[in-house]
């Protein structure tokens, strides 16, 4: 990138940034002539991906800072006015425990207010799912939550939501970006003036209490919980995020005993006890698992910093805790929800669940076992929300009762349109109690499900490509797989390829044969092997990394579950080896 262009971009940013810290960072880099760092901060502008706007905190257009937040909000405000030119508009803003989250949230709220949009701002940390709930409860036209979800501490982000409580999807996402890129000035208003004019409204318990009541009302067996709650011992960690207040309040009001890991209870953007505040990472649960063993817990629970992701671990027969994957917990919840609807006489005429294209095929087998459909969508919970919304108006009579994706995302209620770790915690607590009342653990039930569906095992591979060369490196890998698709993976023949970017099914053994793909375009490739294994490849929408997923099923035979597990592991290890030869270690 030419230094004159870098200097011009940096000067433009420095003139517009109101925050003195972010402005001084750029001034110091210019003075030191640190062109490499300056190039990284200005070679591109942050763009909306599967999780909205997300980046490393710092000065520059390729960073998360006050100017980027204010510009995004002005662009969003401009877009709203174009879409709803005669409507009195309203918005709601929430934020998590990350560095600068409160400041970014207030900055966004004041830009909305300056544009004449009535804005509700939470008084303190709140989970992302409560933001979705608030949009729907208050009847707002949009919402923003300041969070980088499970990313490392250096990151923050900006998730934009539409009036149905779900994250923005096409055409709104591209429309908003176009408006953001066209922003030439940002409107301002003082906080005191915004409050006096009722353009800024601070909210908390008027949303908290209905949200808690909604989560409790989602459960199937209040009488069982009331009678048996004292029998279940729960250890919980919010991983220094927003979840403690809600998880403790909801589960505690049900009479459940919850011990929150004290060292991780309070919000802290440094995430001092974990390398990655992500319940997908086993190391993030180390402290909770230790506490779980001390307390002889029936289940250890964790939410990520904005409490939309949810993970658990449960003890086996020896007392050692076993981490339950997102795919496995999704299967258990799907089974429990369908089973409960059936037992309670509330099963809809055409029940359905939704999962993403990289989620285990086990869940489809479970849905079919209960006479339900399993609808698929692209990766990212905004697509689950989109399919859910379409099912309510397409006239097909389908009733969606559950949505999930492999990355620890679960939606068990109708009043939120994003993954919800709080309601997932409550439903998992009830599910644990239910199977305990039957003399079973969650692991026991999972093994019973394997007997129905076959043994399913999944694998994930991620490789980071940071810096200016990163996007091109990921593009080159995807191009290689498109232009020279493998005939085998792990020694198993590739039967067909689903290319979402080209919206085509391709068949390696029949060159020239194609069939249409009936899902939105996305830079994703899926390889379907002759034994039913599916291998997927996609660049991340929120981080500079490329991700591979593999899901395989091994039938149970006379040799039992352990033999099926060994066969599955061998299969996935061979596939991993082939992928590593392309992307490197």
How would you class 416 by CB atoms within 10 Å of its CB: exposed for 0-12, middle for 13-18, buried for 19 or more? buried
456-583 domain in CATH 3.30.310? yes
Q: What is the DSSP string of 42-65?
A: HSS----BTTBEEEEBSSSTTSB-
- Where in the sequence numbering do the catalytic residues fall? 149
Contact 279, 301 (CB under 8 A): no
Closest CA to 307 of 257, 364, 221, 249: 249
Please, which contacts does 6-13 make with residues 24 or more away whose CB atoms are closer than 8 Å?
6/35, 6/38, 6/39, 6/42, 9/42, 9/61, 10/38, 10/41, 10/42, 10/60, 13/42, 13/59, 13/60, 13/61, 13/67
In whole angstroms, give the CA distance from residue 268 to residue 497.
44
Same fold, 44-97+139-196 and 327-453: yes
Check residue 181 and give its pLDDT.
86
Check residue 51 and give its pLDDT.
60
Check residue 558 and give its pLDDT.
74
Check residue 466 and give its pLDDT.
86
Check residue 509 and give its pLDDT.
86
* Strand, helix or coil for residue 557: coil
Contact 111, 187 (CB under 8 A): yes
Q: Which residue has the tokens 């990766």?
A: 379
Residue 351 C-beta-side C-alpha neighbours within 13 Å: 23
Contact 370, 351 (CB under 8 A): yes
pTM of the model: 0.94
How many DSSP H helices and E strands does the chain contain?
A: 19, 23
Helices (H), 117-242: 128-138, 172-181, 191-196, 205-218, 222-228
Contact 234, 406 (CB under 8 A): no
How would you class 537 by CB atoms within 10 Å of its CB: exposed for 0-12, middle for 13-18, buried for 19 or more? buried
In whole angstroms, give the CA distance from residue 433 to residue 379.
31
How would you class 293 by CB atoms within 10 Å of its CB: exposed for 0-12, middle for 13-18, buried for 19 or more? middle
Size of the chain, expressed as the number of residues it contains: 585
In whole angstroms, give the CA distance from residue 558 to residue 136.
52
In whole angstroms, give the CA distance from residue 27 to residue 19.
13
| Superfamily of 44-97+139-196 according to CATH | Alpha-D-Glucose-1,6-Bisphosphate, subunit A, domain 3 (3.40.120.10)
Check residue 49 and give its pLDDT.
59
In whole angstroms, give the CA distance from residue 204 to residue 28.
40
In whole angstroms, give the CA distance from residue 523 to residue 518.
15
Contact 41, 62 (CB under 8 A): yes
Terminal C-alpha separation, the chain: 29
327-453 domain in CATH 3.40.120.10? yes
Locate the domains of the chain by residue range: 44-97+139-196, 327-453, 456-583
Q: Which residue has the tokens 């099923």?
A: 553
Strands (E), 243-395: 257-260, 299-303, 310-315, 321-324, 351-356, 373-377
Please, which contacts does 224-230 make with residues 24 or more away whose CB atoms are closer than 8 Å?
224/430, 224/433, 224/434, 224/437, 225/254, 225/255, 225/256, 225/429, 225/430, 225/433, 226/254, 226/255, 228/433, 228/436, 228/437, 229/254, 229/255, 229/256, 229/257, 229/433, 230/255, 230/257
Tokens representing residue 451 in the block: 């007997």
Check residue 568 and give its pLDDT.
94
Check residue 584 and give its pLDDT.
87
Q: Which residue has the tokens 């900055």?
A: 107
Number of neighbouring beta carbons within 10 Å of residue 491: 12
* Residue ranges in the chain whose pLDDT is less than 70: 48-51
Closest CA to 255 of 304, 222, 215: 222
């Amino acid at each position: 990138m030419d230094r004159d262009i870098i200097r011009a971009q940096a000067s433009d940013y420095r003139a517009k940034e109101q925050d003195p810290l972010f402005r001084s960072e750029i001034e110091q880099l210019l003075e030191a002539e640190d062109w490499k760092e300056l190039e990284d901060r200005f070679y591109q502008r942050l763009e909306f991906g599967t999780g909205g706007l997300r980046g490393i905190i710092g000065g520059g257009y390729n960073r998360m800072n006050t100017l980027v937040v204010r510009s995004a909000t002005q662009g969003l405000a401009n877009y709203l006015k174009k879409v709803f030119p005669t409507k009195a508009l309203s918005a709601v803003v929430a934020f998590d425990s990350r560095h600068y989250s409160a400041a970014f949230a207030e900055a966004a709220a004041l830009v909305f207010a300056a544009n004449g949009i009535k804005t509700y701002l939470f008084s303190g940390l709140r989970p992302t799912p409560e933001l979705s709930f608030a949009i729907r409860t208050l009847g707002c036209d949009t919402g923003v939550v300041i969070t980088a979800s499970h990313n490392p501490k250096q990151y923050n982000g900006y998730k934009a939501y539409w009036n149905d409580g779900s994250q923005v999807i096409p055409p709104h996402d591209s429309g908003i970006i176009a408006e953001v890129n066209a922003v030439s000035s940002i409107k301002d208003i003082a906080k005191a003036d915004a409050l006096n004019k009722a353009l800024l409204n601070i909210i908390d318990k008027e949303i908290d209490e209905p949200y808690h009541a909604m989560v409790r009302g989602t459960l199937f067996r209040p009488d069982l919980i009331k009678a048996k709650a004292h029998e279940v011992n729960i250890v919980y960690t919010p991983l220094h995020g927003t979840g403690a207040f809600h998880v403790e309040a909801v589960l505690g009001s049900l009479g459940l005993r919850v011990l929150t890991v004290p060292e991780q209870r309070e919000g802290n953007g440094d995430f001092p006890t974990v390398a990655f505040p992500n319940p997908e990472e086993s190391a993030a649960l180390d402290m909770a698992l230790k506490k779980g063993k001390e307390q002889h817990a029936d289940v250890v629970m964790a939410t990520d910093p904005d409490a939309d992701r949810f993970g658990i671990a449960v003890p086996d027969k020896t007392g050692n805790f076993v981490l339950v994957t997102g795919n496995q917990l999704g299967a258990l919840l799907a089974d429990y929800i369908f089973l409960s609807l059936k037992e309670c006489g509330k099963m809809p005429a055409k029940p359905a669940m939704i999962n993403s294209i990289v989620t285990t095929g086990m869940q489809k087998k479970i849905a079919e076992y209960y006479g339900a459909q399993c609808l698929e969508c692209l990766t990212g919970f905004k697509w689950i929300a989109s399919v859910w919304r379409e099912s309510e108006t397409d006239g097909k009579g389908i009733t969606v009762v559950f949505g999930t994706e492999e990355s620890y995302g679960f939606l068990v209620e109708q009043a939120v349109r994003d993954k919800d770790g709080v309601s997932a915690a409550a439903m998992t607590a009830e599910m644990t109690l239910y199977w305990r009342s039957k003399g079973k653990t969650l692991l026991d039930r999972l093994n019973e499900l394997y007997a129905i569906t076959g043994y399913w095992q999944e694998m994930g591979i991620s490789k980071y490509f940071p810096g200016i060369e990163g996007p091109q490196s990921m593009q080159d890998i995807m191009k290689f797989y498109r232009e020279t698709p493998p005939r085998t993976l792990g020694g198993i023949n590739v039967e067909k390829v689903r290319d979402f970017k080209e919206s085509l099914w391709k068949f390696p053994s029949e060159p020239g044969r194609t069939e249409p793909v009936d899902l939105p375009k996305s830079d994703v490739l899926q390889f379907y092997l002759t034994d039913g294994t599916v291998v997927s490849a996609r660049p991340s929408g929120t981080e500079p990394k490329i991700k591979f997923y593999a899901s395989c099923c091994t039938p149970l035979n006379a040799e039992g579950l352990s033999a099926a597990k060994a066969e599955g592991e061998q299969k996935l290890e061979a596939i991993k080896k082939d992928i590593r030869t392309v992307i490197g270690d």
